[in-house]
Structure 1
């Protein structure tokens, strides 16, 4: 069996102990982190190495930043999303090959700031992601694209009243770009196993969103076809949000059966 997870930690320096606790308890093979909010050289590599995990980090001062923790041999394949030229200084993508799979860890632009240019950047990222996925499919590569997509694919993926109709997370263009990934042949891990129901991965710090369960499902794991055939479980670790000083996101964990042969 193989287990991997994605988690927007909203500052690794503030959530380091939360991550260590999660690693010790759940022992994922791969953990993709977003919004680490630190430069690459100050990421706590030694702390996670002591816990049995190597760190692959693409950092940025104060904002964004992605990292992958793994306890297996790996190869770094990309430190930026191929084809996304809008602002290459933004640390939003890192990719490795591990245990026969490519893991692409992404932090997609929110799209609500920066006016029309900010939203165009979001759509450009999704276009580049789709082209990259298509290329891997044509090459016969098995892969997982996981992370904070900043998209609620359907109305069931956010609590009633949690977002306005013109929010970038639910605009028709955002949802169409997400569907394009599915139409390529990728599988939304959670919805493959739980086609209906409200499963949230994010609760805002404001307006008692956690207490009111006014959440969003914006963290996703999309699986290429052969990987989807191995899918066993996919669920958010909801309890993480109720801990002291939590991130506003919780981990989404996925397990796969071993590859045939």
Structure 2
């Protein structure tokens, strides 16, 4: 099974890129973030014509998550239970016996802001819920845009980003607490080249100069981590015309 995650930063704009990428990679499951559209305008028909079932949890202009799968999905769930939130950031479904959870984690805006506090509260709520999900689904994968660079090696300039949003200690601690549920970072299961990132700012030639961060992740329970054979970041779509500022992350189980 080949599973992937990609923040497309507007699915309306990036749909041709996604269809071409799926045809090339033949991914079995693709999790999308920042679809930025309501369910009623989501391109279910186009995806089905390409061989993919889809479930979506969206809203106009902001946020939005989806799971695309070549197999039919069951037990679809939206949002984090018992956490009041109008932002559409989570969707989960079971695919061929694997529980897929797709998340678009809050950015946090700036350390110390209200949005930063919301981000930490959101992560705590996600962790509580996933503890229950993992107990019910030992074969679980959490994929998405986490908006956290786990370590300094995931940052192009650690000194410049020190204590800044996406790299602050409280954010990294929240991610470590989530991983303490037994979730392994699929990318770090393997030796990787240095300075491999998944997001680059559109401004100041961020991609051309490789001034990026690794903030898109695939986390696996032990039952899946033991089956993981590769995990890579595909930079090719970032080179296209009108690209997302994120690149897909792919793991093979």
Q: Which residue of 2 aligns with 1:250?
A: 247
Runs of 4+ displaced beyond 4 Å: none
Show the 5 A alignment for 1:20-39.
Answer: 20-39=19-38
Q: Which residue of 2 aligns with 1:224?
A: 221
SS in 2 for 1:231: coil
2:108 and 2:248 map into 1 onto residues whose CA distance is 22
2:155 and 2:135 map into 1 onto residues whose CA distance is 34
Corresponding residue to 2:100 among 100, 103, 118: 103
1:237 and 1:130 map into 2 onto residues whose CA distance is 28
Unmatched 5+ stretches in structure 1: 257-261
Q: Which residue of 2 aligns with 1:66?
A: 65
Normalising by structure 1, we get a TM-score of 0.92
1:175 and 1:156 map into 2 onto residues whose CA distance is 13
Superposed displacement of residue 236, structure 1:
0.5
SS in 1 for 2:113: helix
2:19 and 2:70 map into 1 onto residues whose CA distance is 13
2:233 and 2:75 map into 1 onto residues whose CA distance is 27
Aligned length: 253
2:154 and 2:239 map into 1 onto residues whose CA distance is 20
Unmatched 5+ stretches in structure 2: none
Which has the larger displacement, 133-142 or 73-82? 133-142
The question of whether the paired residues in 2 share the 8 Å contact of 1:238 and 1:250 is answered with yes
SS in 2 for 1:150: coil
Q: Which residue of 2 aligns with 1:6?
A: 5
Normalising by structure 2, we get a TM-score of 0.95
Q: Which residue of 1 aligns with 2:180?
A: 183
1:42 matched to 2:41:
yes
Change (3 A) 1:42 1:114: farther
The question of whether the paired residues in 2 share the 8 Å contact of 1:162 and 1:215 is answered with no
Structure 1 residues 201-239: Cα deviation after superposition (integer angstroms, max 9, x where no partner): 001101110111101100000001101110001000011
Show the 5 A alignment for 1:1-261.
Answer: 2-85=1-84, 88-112=85-109, 116-139=113-136, 141-160=138-157, 164-194=161-191, 197-256=194-253
Superposed displacement of residue 77, structure 1:
3.1
SS in 2 for 1:83: coil
Superposed displacement of residue 68, structure 1:
0.7
Structure 1 residues 37-61: Cα deviation after superposition (integer angstroms, max 9, x where no partner): 1111111111111101111011110
